[in-house]
Structure 1
Amino acid sequence: MNDWHAWAALAVFAAAYVLIITEWVHRVAAALGGAAAMLALGATDDEAAFFSTDSGIDWNVIFLLAGMMMIVGVLKRTGLFEYLAIWSVKRARAQPFRVMAMLVVITAAASALLDNVTTVLLVAPVTLLVCERLGLRAAPFLIAEVFASNIGGTATLVGDPPNIIIASRGGLTFNDFLVHLTPLAIVLTAVLLAMCRFLFREHFTYDGERAAEVMALNEREAIHDRRLLAQGLAVLVLVIAGFVLHPVVHYAPSVVALLGAGILVAVSESEVKDVLAEVEWPTLAFFAGLFVMVGALIETGVIETVSEALADATGGSPLGAVMLLLVASAVLSGVVDNIPYVATMAPITADLAHTVGQPYGAVLWWALALGADLGGNATAIGASANVVVLGIAERNRQPISFWTFTRYGVPVTAATIAVSALYLWLRHFALA
């Protein structure tokens, strides 16, 4: 970090981060302004920002979001989400905490099989309608679902994008994740449910009159375009199959989502302008700006310097290396998006795993995965799903501030990381 570009990039990122968390300006303006400053200062350039797979805009994420937003936009017109909202409320007997518990469990389970961003895009509209029906604030429910999506995403290789990077660099298989992380993800989901009961207790207000109204509804009557519903569900099933069969068909999730969106728009004869109006363009712009800023930190060596310092601080102790990597990854993934962080940290972890040797070298990969995935819950920009949900909430006039999210995110992250540390110690050190 002797180059002045590195210090300039760090200063710009810090300034943009302050603007985001204080909300002195809109977060999209802060991210795009920071990206422009990085380009103007030469901390990155057009080649790195727009075309590099290591330090540029992750177009796969952008187009995955755009495609899924279009599919969700078409499904909204069928009444499907109203149907699911009424169905879930009736199954939970209109009890607010039971509703939250149901949505959390569904989100966590779905995030193990789908990308967590896709999951929250599908669950968030249902949540907004449930809360509207019961007269509840949607923010606590949406925040709890984000936590569940990031926790559930740790369970499998395809659950969270950082896991794919880790599997590739660490030589890990889908079954390795199932054996080592799925049991922990189930435990962490139970921990989250217990914490939700306490953290959001003042929001579980039962309105008997509203509850009775919902219980009297017939959810089937909410469906008002069955032909479009059949078309939308058929495309959605094909898209989900494409996600799950990625190792076989080798289509990137972004390609699958865009193909699905294109097919659905074509066969349903939907107005293109109406479908595009459902896309959260400010959210996509925020992602682009954030990717450019973090990419500049990679290009100038800031993230590499931090990562190498973490590796040097382990002192050669296998247990110390695992715990430091777990905690440091959680902290750093709360500040920068976990995808570029893991991409930068993966080769360093590989070297550290080689130095530590077997049987402890493999444990470092689980520490990196858990720290990066769970650390994303700490702040509003720690993971892609967080940013997406904040954009949805703002669009529906129920904004969630950075500090509101962080007030709940930090204790949840601390608790899940503590449980993960205990799990790693017991399974790989104490009882090995």
Structure 2
Amino acid sequence: MSDWHSWAAIAVFVGTYALIISEKIHRVAAALGGAGLMLAVGATDDVSAFYSEDSGIDWNVIFLLAGMMMIVGVLKKTGLFEYLAIWAVKKARARPFRVMVMLIVITAMTSALLDNVTTVLLIAPVTLLVCERLALPAAPFLIAEVLASNIGGTATLVGDPPNIIIASRAGLTFNDFLVHLAPLSAVLTLVLVLLCRLMFRKTFVYDEDRAAEIMELEEKEAIKNPRLLIQGLVVLALVIAGFVLHPVLHYEPSIVALLGAGLLIAVSTVETGEVLAEVEWPTLAFFAGLFIMIGGLIDTGVIKQVSDALAGAVGDNAMGGSLLLLGASGVLSGVVDNIPYVATMAPVTSDLVHSLGGGSDHVMWWALALGADLGGNATAIGASANVVVLGIAERNRRPISFWQFTKYGLIVTTATLAISAVYIWLRYFALA
């Protein structure tokens, strides 16, 4: 690609990003318009946009979301989420902060076992019902959950898609992630709880009358269709097993989710049209546009130039290089989706690892993982889970603006990356 194409791609991406931030037009329209311009200026083409694994639409992400949205859509009809909402509020004695802590911990732990997108698809409907019952604003709770999902997903190989890419490239195992990142993820979850106590302190208003009403409710009465609930839970359990057994079965999560959705529709009496109506089609369209725009930056070599510049700055300084990689990944993953970013950076990091050698070589991979996973919290479009929850909130008439999310995300990202930098320094250098 020529320099002209590179500058055109940068201009399109920056202009689209500015429109998304300004919210002058809907983010889906901005993303699709930006994707169209990338194709129009020749920064990418139809083959690259629709068929390339490196710079095209990540269909695995699209179909994973579609499949899980269909499963969640069926489960919503059973009353399961109402049951869980009442149960959670009663366990927390209807105290708003206790409810938030419970949801944060559940989200972080579940995101470590599943992926963070699947987790927020399951937790967000419960949260909306909890907030409705307690007459609380939903935005703080949803934002806290998204932040928790990205932090919790850092802990394991399957928790966040970038970790899968890193594990494949570096030859790391599930246990490697548990040993090196899970302890830090637990600490960062605790830090998130403390930050939420400060950031959302005006939200935690206790309504004694509403609390008394909820404590008198019987959650079992919320279940509307027991047979459909059993069918849905069995299929969901099979899907989760498919996710966990990915190293053995070698089925991509998207395939597992679509098989689960198809099976649930086949065995239940729910109309196919009703299930498809539950899919967040605008969210999927937004992802498609975003992938094409980032693909334009990859095809024109813009991201590769950034990666090479980072590699040149690192040199043979392992500690400085790992901290620089952590910080740069944190910043860039807040702007571009962390999946294509890690896919682009993986070969660069591999070269750094081989050039550095020694016992601390894996620290570069952990720095890349932490920066990409935690940096996704920085903005409303920094990670897939963020976009999904914003779509759910908008559909339920509880919209969360770009800046409403980002002003809290930046605080959490800055704190968690700073703690991660200290962790890397202590574990791999000072105490090694």
* Fraction of identical pairs, as percent: 76
State the shift of 1:314 in Å. Answer: 1.8
Q: Does 1:59 align with 2:34?
A: no
Q: Is 1:318 aligned to residue 318 of structure 2?
A: yes
Q: Distance in 2 between matches of 1:360 and 1:221?
A: 56
Mapped partners of 1:255, 1:241: distance in 2: 13
Counterpart for residue 81 of structure 1: 81
Shift of 1:331: 0.1
Q: Where do 1:367-382 residues align within 5 Å?
A: 367-382=367-382
Q: Distance in 1 between matches of 2:338 and 2:295?
A: 12
- The match for 1:270 is 270
Map 1:14-413 → 2, pairs under 5 A = 14-413=14-413
User: Matches of 2:171 and 2:407 in 1, distance apart?
Assistant: 37
Gaps of 5+ in 1: none
CA displacement, residues 340-383 of structure 1 (integer Å, 9 cap, x when unaligned): 00000000000011111112221000000000000000001100
CA distance in 2, matches of 1:36, 1:360: 44
User: Unmatched 5+ residue regions in structure 2?
Assistant: none
User: C-alpha distance in 2, partners of 1:358/1:189?
Assistant: 31
Query: Which residue identity lines up with residue 359 of structure 2 in the other structure?
Result: P
**Rounded Cα–Cα distance in structure 2 between residues aligned with 1:31 and 1:348:** 28
- Aligned residue for 2:57, secondary structure, equals coil
Distance (Å, rounded) in 1 between the aligned partners of 2:314 and 2:287: 33
Q: 2 CA distance for matches of 1:256 and 1:361? A: 34
- How much has 1:35 moved relative to structure 2? 0.3
Query: What is the alpha-carbon distance in structure 1 between the residues aligned to residue 215 and residue 207 of structure 2?
Result: 12
1:184 is matched by which residue type in structure 2? L
Query: SS state of the match for residue 43, structure 2?
Result: coil
CA distance in 2, matches of 1:272, 1:45: 34
Find the aligned partners of 1:63 and 1:253 in 2 and give their Cα distance.
Answer: 9
Q: What TM-score does the superposition give when structure 1 sets the normalisation length? A: 0.99
Distance in structure 2 (CA, Å) of the matches to 1:358 and 1:154: 25
Return the alpha-carbon distance in structure 1 between the equivalents of residues 198 and 354 of structure 2: 43
Q: 2:282, 2:338 → 1: CA distance?
A: 20
2:163 and 2:369 in contact (8 A); partners too: yes
Q: Distance in 2 between matches of 1:269 and 1:60?
A: 28
Kindly state the Cα deviation for residue 404 of structure 1 after the two structures are TM-superposed.
0.6
Distance of 1:359 and 1:4 partners within structure 2: 43
Letter in 2 for 1:302: V
SS in 2 for 1:361: coil
2: CA distance, partners of 1:360 / 1:142:
38
Instruction: Output the amino acid matched with 1:249.
Output: L
Counterpart CA distance in 2 for 1:190 and 1:2 is: 48
What displacement does 1:125 show? 0.2
Distance in structure 1 (CA, Å) of the matches to 2:54 and 2:130: 40
Shift of 1:317: 1.2
Q: For the residues of structure 2 that align with 1:267 and 1:314, how far apart are their CA atoms? A: 56
SS of residue in 2 equivalent to 1:93: coil
Offset at 1:2? 5.2
- For 1:224 and 1:20, locate their aligned partners in 2 and report how far apart those are by CA, in whole Å: 40
Give the partner amino acid of 1:155: A
Cα distance in 2 for residues equivalent to 1:263 and 1:356: 49
Provide, for residues 109-154 of structure 1, a one-character-per-residue CA deviation record: whole Å limited to 9, x for no partner. Answer: 0000101000000000000000000000000000000000000001
- What is the CA-CA distance between 1:269 and the residue it aligns to? 1.9
What secondary structure, in the 3-state scheme, does the structure 2 residue paired with 1:155 have?
Answer: coil
The alignment's C-alpha RMSD in Å is: 0.7
**Partner SS state of residue 314, structure 2:** coil
Query: Could you list the per-position Cα deviations for residues 180-199 of structure 1 after superposition, in whole angstroms to 9, with x for gaps in the alignment?
Result: 00010000000000101001
- Deviation string 1:1-20 (CA, Å, 9 cap, x unpaired) is 85210110000000000000
The residue type paired with residue 408 of structure 2 is Y
**8 Å contact 2:156–2:181 — kept in the other structure?**
yes
* Partner Cα separation in structure 2 for residue 49 and residue 422 of structure 1: 39
Offset at residue 316 of structure 1 (A): 2.3
Q: What amino acid does structure 2 have at the position aligned with 1:205?
A: V
1:146-174 deviations in whole A, cap 9, x for unaligned?
A: 00000000100000000000011111111
SS of the aligned residue for 1:326 comes to: helix
1-10 or 347-356, which deviates more = 1-10
**Match of 2:32, as an amino acid?**
L
| Distance across 2 between alignment mates of 1:359 and 1:295 | 35
1:416 equivalent in structure 2: 416
Q: Structure 2: how far apart are the matches of 1:385 and 1:282?
A: 14
Paired residue secondary structure (1:157) = coil
Deviation track 1:254-306 (CA, whole Å, cap 9, x = no partner) reads 00000000010111021111101100000000000000000110000000001
When the two structures are superposed, what TM-score results if normalisation uses the length of structure 2?
Answer: 0.99
Contact 2:360–2:428 (CA<8 Å) still a contact in 1? yes
Is residue 2–residue 300 contact of structure 2 (8 Å, CA) maintained in 1?
no
The alignment partner of 2:34 has SS state of helix
Matches of 1:282 and 1:207, distance apart in 2: 36
Q: How many residues align?
A: 432
Distance in structure 2 (CA, Å) of the matches to 1:332 and 1:395: 29
